[in-house]
Structure 1
Amino acid sequence: MPTVYITAPREAADDLAADLVESEVAACVNRVDCSSTFRWEGDVVTEAEAVLLAKTTDDGYEALKARVEDQHPYDVPCIERFDEDDVLDAFGEWVAESVR
């Protein structure tokens, strides 16, 4: 079961999280506000962002990734996949039932 790490502008994060759950590519999405510093077009910038942690399935990952790429306001969104080796069985079952 993968968790997908996504960063987004704070003003877009709630809508993006809701879209991922409503479209059934994620069972749930946790949101944590953060400040990110990165290089973009030759400049170092700091932006207020949100970290989204989206829970999905192996089969649902590609659809989730495509949905984020389609809905995200950035030209190059951060989308990183982390695979869990061990999750509570009941949680894993709930994720599997929630992702289409």
Structure 2
Amino acid sequence: MTSTDPATVLLCYCSCPDAASAQAIAEALVGERLAACVNRLPAVHSTYRWQGVVTCDSEELLLIKTTAARFDALKIRLLELHPYELPELVAVPVQRGHEAYLDWVRQGGG
């Protein structure tokens, strides 16, 4: 499978400013079947340049498992829900993994 194949599993990264927004986004994406699973990693420390200033923040990182077929709808929904002006959303195609798990993701979860 290639990253343009609709069945390609994607691992998407998205940082959130706090646990409440991360949980709301995770629940919406899974509840609406745009993602099979979302892991929340608290206490991520991000350093970045924003509007000309180097900034350091504590954030929560979402690891979102979805497919290429669902990515565009997931992106639209995430941008609607996310409190940041410019949310991080990076998708990486999964090259290998436990095939039964990857099939579960392709089916949209349980």
User: Would you say same fold, with TM above 0.5?
Assistant: yes
* Aligned positions of 1:1-100 closer than 5 A: 1-11=9-19, 12-33=21-42, 34-98=44-108
Distance 2:101 2:26 in 1: 19
Give structure 1 regions of 4+ aligned residues with deviation exceeding 6 angstroms. Answer: none
State the secondary structure of the residue aligned to 1:68: helix
Distance 1:89 1:71 in 2: 31
Gaps of 5+ in 2: 1-8
For 2:90, the aligned partner's letter is: E
State the secondary structure of the residue aligned to 1:56: strand
- How many equivalent residue pairs? 99
Deviation at 1:76, TM superposition (A): 0.4
User: Kindly, what percent of the aligned residue pairs are identical?
Assistant: 35
TM-score w.r.t. the length of structure 2 is: 0.84
Q: RMSD across aligned C-alpha pairs, in angstroms?
A: 1.2
Name the counterpart of 2:6: none
Gaps of 5+ in 1: none
For 2:46, the aligned partner's letter is: S
TM-score w.r.t. the length of structure 1 is: 0.92
